[in-house]
A and B are shown apart, each in its own frame.
Chain A
Amino acid sequence: MGMSMSQKILAAHAGLKEVRAGQLINARVDLALANDITGPVAIKEFVRSGAKKTADSSKIALVMDHFAPNKDIKSAQQCKICREFAAEQNVQNFFDVGQMGIEHALLPEKGLVGAGDLVIGADSHTCTYGALGAFSTGVGSTDMCAAMMSGECWFKVPAAIKFTLIGKPRRYVCGKDVILHIIGLIGVDGALYKSMEFTGDGVANLGIDDRFTICNMAIEAGAKNGIFPVDDITREYLKNHFKREVREFAADPDAEYEREYVIDLSKIEPTVAFPHLPENARTPESWGKVKIDQAVIGSCTNGHITDLRMAAEVLKGRKVAKGVRAIVIPATNEIYLQALKEGLIETFIEAGAIVSTPTCGPCLGGYMGILAENERAVSTTNRNFVGRMGHSSSEVYLASPYVAAASAVAGYLTTPDALAGDTLTGDGSENATNAANGTKNGASGGATNAAENEVKR
């Protein structure tokens, strides 16, 4: 039996010819990442350990993005700890306000992660870089500290699940719908400890930003990592960004997969995850009329330039509904500048949205858009847990930039198609949604069955 793509990258970094699922290995890390939340904990451990110097400061990245620009004195202290550590240890890849962006959009843009890399990060969405053909996974602050000290990390080699993508997404359907659909199918622990390996002809119909979105949310199915094969789209992106040597790995033809799914992209509908789990995936016919108070378009999941283009396409010439607060957050300064050049920022402001500096802010209920009691947000972020974006009675509906923008205009959950068809009454009245009652594997929506066949071996 051959190895999966993830296993081949792990083997190469452990100096082994082959590895097997379940094997414990120690592997060299190409980049270890932390942010202003997890960095201080790792630094505290580093100091506690008595270590004097990092193994290789060029393989460390610290990004001030979660509560930066600082929301309060305590957050400012956290950033100060990171800033001082970076100066003391000569960490060149320290990104502060002005150079920073949301870490998982920033590091690929800066060319710090690429195909064949092994990346760990003290942030669960570190799995994003699988889009570039890297093995990347989230760890905690202690593992981050150990990697700063040794340049290595131990891993249990994951088994893999294969997702064969076929077909082409229809209009107004993007990577976000694909991954919400898949999480609805397999559940929030459907890929626990495993690699989600995407393959098939349909991959060519997904741009690099769609792939970032899909890999970003692999953790929401419990996965250790998500990974895409390296193709011309990847190579083109890496050519323009990546500074080191590209190492292309591919799964062996006889690689062992624990399960296989075939996903027909052309059959995927706009998909929203209802509160309070990302697996509560529903398609429009089962949305009901969910009135919203806030729309957030941004985050490491959907703050890329193509995401902003999707939102602007819907918002162009329209107005955000009265009573809805629309917040757009470009993920990096470069994306912000590009959006400015393309006139997207003007579109957002004219529509009645606000545009924020890059920050994780509202996604984790930090700042820049916190929800009050019983409020609802449609959001392009990645988690809709209880209290994720504010008060413990508030609700988050995870959606694509298309759906978030259309919903901001309508005042309740809707699609660009429905908006264009003017099939709405627009009175903003509200029906009970029983959102929290959604059951596992999309059964409540009853609409996630069309697009997939599970191939059991």
Chain B
Amino acid sequence: MKVKGRVFRYGNDVDTDVIIPARYLNTTSESELAAHCMEDIDGEFIKKVQKGDIIVAGDNFGCGSSREHAPIAIKASGVSLVIANSFARIFYRNSINIGLPILECPEAVKEINAGDTVSCDLSSGKITNESTGKSFTAQPFPPFIQEIIADGGLIKHLKKENR
């Protein structure tokens, strides 16, 4: 699976409350959640984000609450990949379970700026900053996790397997 998009750049400890504030958790509608994605940290995000765009951030991305609404909102906003130095534990698990591609790659995070165009081959973990020409390699997920993500999440994956 290959993805490509423009980069939104954030710092360390981006928490689930800024990814999707709790005041919007009275719905499970993916489009409603997406409409408020990153609202409290970057009011411009939802106005500017386009299908395929990529979020690049520092340490501990997705810390805080277990709300699956956070990766759901990011995915539904059109984001194709999140690259970070590290992810908070529950967010990491939730992203795989709902089919949001994520990669840990501190080398890439260091060399990618907001607005750069980045492409990535999720099966090999190769990340290319098309704006600078530099390439990086993240540890790709094992094939079974890649399949879960490609199928659009754990439940859809299990359903396909049981068919």
Contacts and interface: CB of A to CB of B under 8 A. Distances in A.
Interface in B145-163: 153-156, 158-159
Given A143-B93, A192-B88, A387 B18 contact: yes
A192 B26 contact: no
A387 B63 contact: no
A303 interface: no
B27 A189 contact: no
Contact of B64 (A74, A75, A124): A124
Nearest to A279: B13
Contacts of B6: none
A387 B64 CA distance: 13
Interface string A128-157: 000000000011111101100000000000
B68 interface: yes
B97 A143 contact: yes
Interface residues of B, number: 38
Interface in B59-75: 59-60, 63-69, 72
B17 A383 contact: yes
A140 B40 contact: no
Interface residues of A, number: 47
Given A189-B60, A189-B86, A142 B27 contact: no
A49 B159 contact: yes
Interface in B24-45: 25-28, 39-41
Contacts, number: 126
A145 to B, nearest CB: 7
Given A49-B155, A142-B153, A143-B97, A364 B26 contact: no
B67 A38 contact: yes
Given A50-B159, A139-B90, A386 B40 contact: yes
Given A37-B25, A142-B155, A364 B17 contact: yes
Contact of B21 (A78, A145, A222, A365): A365
A386 B15 CA distance: 9
Nearest to A393: B40
A38 B64 contact: no
B83 to A, nearest CB: 17
B89 interface: yes
A111 B155 CA distance: 31
Query: Looking at A126, A139, A222, which has the most chain B CB atoms within 10 Å of its CB?
Result: A222
Nearest to B26: A74
Given A189-B13, A366-B23, A386-B41, A142 B97 contact: yes
A119 interface: no
A456 interface: no
B129 interface: no
Nearest to A138: B66
A196 interface: no
B128 interface: no
Nearest to A370: B23
Interface of B: 13, 15, 17-18, 21-23, 25-28, 39-41, 59-60, 63-69, 72, 86, 88-90, 93-94, 97-98, 153-156, 158-159
Interface of A: 37-38, 40-41, 44-45, 48-50, 66-67, 71-72, 74-75, 77-78, 121-124, 126, 138-143, 145-146, 188-189, 192-193, 219, 222, 224, 277, 364-366, 383, 385-388, 392
Given A138-B66, A142-B154, A387-B21, 18 more contacts: A41-B69, A66-B22, A72-B26, A74-B27, A78-B26, A126-B66, A140-B67, A140-B90, A140-B94, A141-B68, A146-B154, A189-B60, A222-B63, A222-B89, A224-B89, A277-B13, A386-B18, A388-B22
